[in-house]
Structure 1
């Protein structure tokens, strides 16, 4: 029996369909879907994995944070545990009778490791099995047929490089996260995550925020005039001194000119500007382009992976920006002679020669991202179509002609003061006809001639200030990470997602929380190796050398542990300062605003039973309090409610969209108002508000105890609780909880 293993079930199903012309039989093996085909050469079985089916971990004895010191993890044994029991069982069952195994996982470092993990499981039960590897960059009939016609050897060096990354990231992340979290007193779900790539990336974001905070704006003024052309069109001209840094200079210019003056056209220069075509998409450029049309990095890659496994685009994890000669480019364009992109494909095919642009990076693993097959809009959802269209249009644009603009530079004299206006008009659309994203608009000027005199209709001045450097958007940050050697094309978007999930950043562009600032400041002061890219980029280069077979994995792992031991020496030398620095910073991140009653800080607090609320730091002298949702991480933003003096709050729950709660007091008042209106509709607003939990109809002693165990001991706490979350921990129906909340109001 010949066993073919793909990385995911959908890929296995598509490959089976291509190689057998849809003649497979669906068979469940140990609860896993497989596809069997009886050929002249014997039985073939296709099965998919679920990415990694095993994971690395420490032995259970190391899991107790209180008993095992963080630095003990550096030299600890690492074990492999199964994460997909059914798939492992199916591999063993099929592997016992397999005479040949073909690894058909994705062709990159991660895919090679995933394939070797499956192969190792099979070799445990069938040590002598014959195995091979196939490489492909698109799941299309031609690509799959070519791959299976030309199998190669499994690249164990590449798999070792992937394995070394897992070991290094586990040891660094687990040990440093444990140390920093214990120092800060942040345990459980609120632990402080630290990582080899994550921390230098977070440092970039924090450093940019500090640049913004340290920025001192400088005032300046702009001067412009509105002129009327001979044809009656009005247009704006700007003073050649783009920014007046001194008000006196502006006033001096203003004294010379007035409405009704003539503006003499002193110079007209017309020229042509060539707008070069874009280069092919690699992963970084694709994420950047997707970001510009509203996609987060992680969402763009998730959708791209779906498009790839369904055969619509090529493999989306690539550094390459040069199409290889092996790609039949004209044939790829001919695919689109029908369908939504017919007009564009036919126009390109008129060219005798199709010469694509080339980027600076050329690799041999995968080609740049290109459309692999024709799709209809009805084949996919709206987001998938948007990214599919983006890939198609970018592919077409790399073969198109340059765009050409006609530019006009004009100068005007108004009472000895020089003004100017620039215009631009797209005269040859070229590649911009195919790829319309973020296209600059025409800036048209009326017909002008040197020597014309135009009437000044209006004079305008505007006071402005210089602006701080902008925060990093996700696409921009990924480019910087690439330049600095932080992470890989396959992991950079995941690192950014982790920063969001750990409540280190919020918004896009990315803004760090005070917790992030506290962690980065502490690392920079007392373990600067962790906040700088040098160490991690060195390890990335070493992992590349493992993949090339230049050095063994063991050597890099040994070096990484030695680096980590140096980091821990720094940490231990400054243990007390680290604790003080972290806790001071984290306390600041809990401040919501200033109490209007007493002037003390309003803080995120916890009751004795664990429920969260906003309380006054002046307690017991001041009893001001507001409820907060029970679940989710609380992020205090820098947006201030002017009415209540509180910062807006955002709630982050894993796997869900962030909830912008806004000003906590505005939110609570609005909630009270809506509940009161609802009661008024029901004609029950004259009913007396319950004073205790037990005053609410339907809540007896047992139910009250359930609520108390969940941290709900007062009427206000029940009123503010998230009904869905409370139902999960108490097993009380959501509808019943909401009825109680309505009764309270």
Structure 2
């Protein structure tokens, strides 16, 4: 009997160890000279395909094993014109710290007939797989290369993946290669020109300043923070006036002994006006009418929809809203839970479950919990609903969901919070919508229309297991009849002022990044961390207004700034306001405030007045769309790289030619204030 030798390579040691345990049951562990973080796991396994009985060595890398860099002659900043970096050759080599791992792959590849790649099934994982392929082929050009497709490390899923090998997707590999090349060229060129041009001015104020770093995702992310900061800074409150009507009425239909009349608050459909005299005239017309007439009395069923299946972006936003953890920490913890086999792969854009995923069976596993087990049992016993289907499917991974049940006591505190959220979100997806009854009464008073609404929650359903959202009973309305007239108990004219906007919170920032194509679901948290590390922004606990907005059900809109118009930094009112779910906001939400350096860089680029500004998301958004086109086979790597290089070259020349504009912004925000303080 021929026994094949197969080399399996995962993206990280925890995955290789877990998969080796599922496939081999027992295995022998071998150390690798030069590294303590990666091991070799040897075992025998019979593949249920043409490979048959095999001797397997399962090892891993530690993320990317190779690096792209310019040749040494381009590394001296003072002897190289940054312009040359747009066309300089790029060398790809094995990072020195990863040389022991590469040697281990070469050593085993020489003796094996098959390389089976087990990197994460996303673009980045595909590119790391290509690096592993290149290293293995350098040692054994005849080795056969396959890759496994998996989204969690539950045993049944792993065995199915092991027996169904696929090919690496070179379109995805090329998409990442093009992005890495463009990031290297543009990042190096702009970082050098900004640092060399501005460093002397800033170091005179701050001697500890290092490099003024540029990144094609960092700058638009910083731009969102600065733009919201300027809205706050430039906000001017404006007075407005409104009309409020109240009516005390007995509820004849549901009257109880000793029950007092119900006070009904009617809201003016105009909301408010900024012209006091106009409101005075309308108010006088109401008073002259004396009687209000009921023009609508409606009771109808209403629902609060259960949430969509969980994506990476939603996990990051909700981690900040409800778990008191920033986005980068949430992702790190989720990655650990995935590696331990408790949840599915946490980097996914998909918000719809494929039909072959047995969601009911996954609910069954959660019936063991003392906390959410009764709800899970109810789903198993007949209350199960197929999860809603969103509009996104990355064709790579399902939504984030629990794979196995684990006692919370065995997890760390942060792991408990993330695991519980993932489980409760999944169970909520499999539950029925919350049901209620909404009552609406509309009245005509002096030709002005006023509304009152009431809500009674009849069946909480998914809300029973998902405490992160709130839907509460509001005022109970008495019975009115259409055509009925009454004299209002109180009619008054009120005065208020527009509320100031709040600094941008992390959930709002992630939302803007997602909508504008800045980074991927896997990298958004990294870009936010980067602008903090570069001293472009500072974070702090959000104000009450920021927390309420971050917790809003309508968090898919830009930060709300209730006012009259955008021209003077006041924003527009409307959709971003706090809803009932805002009461579930936690105190862990962060807001971001730019430093003077961050403001100077963004305002400087804004003052250059060209459409392809580095502070705007358009360049990066277009690049991300082109990456997808490469993945879909519609564009080539070379075409995308050359097209973007030409775009960034134009921006670079404008930046260099008008460096005086950037220097003026640095002088305005950093040099002059420091000089004034010194005097």
Q: 2:311 maps to which residue?
A: 282
Please report how far the alpha carbon of residue 189 of structure 1 lies from its aligned counterpart in structure 2 after TM superposition.
4.9
CA distance change for structure 1 residues 436 and 223 in 2, over 3 Å: closer, same or farther? same
Superposed displacement of residue 221, structure 1? 4.0
Structure possessing the higher relative contact order (Cα contacts under 8 Å, 6 or more residues apart): 2
Distance in 1 between residues matched to 2:14 and 2:8, nearest whole Å: 13
Q: How far has the Cα of 1:302 moved from its partner?
A: 1.6
Tell me the secondary structure at the aligned position of residue 350 of structure 1.
helix
What is the CA distance between 1:197 and its match in structure 2?
Answer: 2.1
How far 1:495 sits from its partner (Å)?
1.3
From 303, 321, 325, the equivalent of 2:333 is: 303
Provide the alpha-carbon RMSD of the alignment. Answer: 3.3
Equivalent pair of 2:372/2:465 in contact (CA under 8 Å): no
Deviation sequence 1:394-443 (CA, Å, 0-9, x none): 22222322222212234689999987542212112132223231213221
CA separation of 1:105/1:284 partners in 2, compared to 1, >3 Å: closer, same or farther?
same
Alignment of 1:305-320 (within 5 A): 305-320=335-350
Residue 18 of structure 1 is matched in structure 2 by: 22
Q: Does 1:148 align with 2:162?
A: yes
Instruction: Could you tell me which runs of 5 or more consecutive residues in structure 1 were left unpaired when the two chains were aligned.
Output: 592-599, 603-616, 619-745
Structure-to-structure mapping, 1:73-84, within 5 angstroms: 73-79=85-91, 80-82=93-95, 83-84=97-98
Question: Are residues 1:204 and 2:224 paired?
Answer: yes
- Asked if residue 487 in structure 1 is aligned to residue 491 in structure 2, the reply is no
- Alignment of 1:192 with 2:197, yes or no, is no
Q: CA deviation at 1:51?
A: 1.1
Out of 397, 403, 407, the position equivalent to 2:438 is 407
Cα 1:377–1:576, aligned 2, differ >3 Å: closer, same or farther?
A: same
- Given that 1:229 and 1:454 are in contact with CA atoms closer than 8 Å, whether structure 2 keeps it comes out as no
**Residue 574 of structure 1: aligned partner:** 658
Q: Counterpart in 1 of 2:639?
A: 555
Tell me the distance in 2 between the aligned counterparts of 1:477 and 1:486.
11
Structure 1, 203-212 or 514-523: larger mean CA deviation: 203-212
Rg (Cα) greater in structure: 1
- Aligned pair count reads 591
Cα shift readout 1:190-234 (whole Å, capped 9, x = no counterpart): 322222222223223323333444443220245657776652377
Equivalent residue for 2:627? 543
Counterparts of residues 51-70 of structure 1 (less than 5 Å): 51-70=63-82
- Residue 510 of structure 1 aligns to a residue whose secondary structure is strand
Are 1:105 and 2:109 counterparts?
no
CA contact (8 A) 2:401 2:426 kept: yes
Of residues 264-273 and 345-354 in structure 1, the stretch that sits farther from structure 2 once superposed is 264-273
Q: Please give the TM-score of this superposition, normalised by the length of structure 2.
A: 0.79
Shift of 1:165: 1.3
* TM-aligned CA deviation for residue 154 of structure 1: 1.8
- TM-score normalized with structure 1 length: 0.72
- 1:473 is aligned to 505
Matched residue SS, 2:110: helix
Within 2, Cα distance between the matches of 1:155 and 1:352?
A: 41
Q: How many angstroms does 1:114 deviate by?
A: 1.2
Distance 1:415 1:528 in 2: 51
Cα deviation code 1:572-596 (max 9, x no counterpart)? 32233333333433325x65xxxxx
Change (3 A) 1:408 1:352: closer
Match of 1:518 in 2: 600
Q: 2 CA distance for matches of 1:551 and 1:265? A: 62
- Work out whether residues 240 and 272 of structure 2, in 8 Å CA contact, stay in contact via their aligned partners in 1: yes
User: Equivalents in 2 of 1:54, 1:329: separation in Å?
Assistant: 39
| Contact 1:197-1:536 at 8 Å conserved across structures | yes
Output the CA distance in 1 between the equivalents of 2:495 and 2:128: 60
Pairing partner for 2:428 from 397, 401, 411 = 397
Instruction: Identify which range, 10-19 or 48-57, moves more after superposition.
Output: 48-57
Question: Structure 2 vs 1, CA of residues 453 and 232 (structure 1 numbering), >3 Å: closer, same or farther?
Answer: farther
Greater shift, 390-399 or 305-314, is seen at 390-399
**Comparing 380-389 and 504-513, the one that deviates more:** 504-513
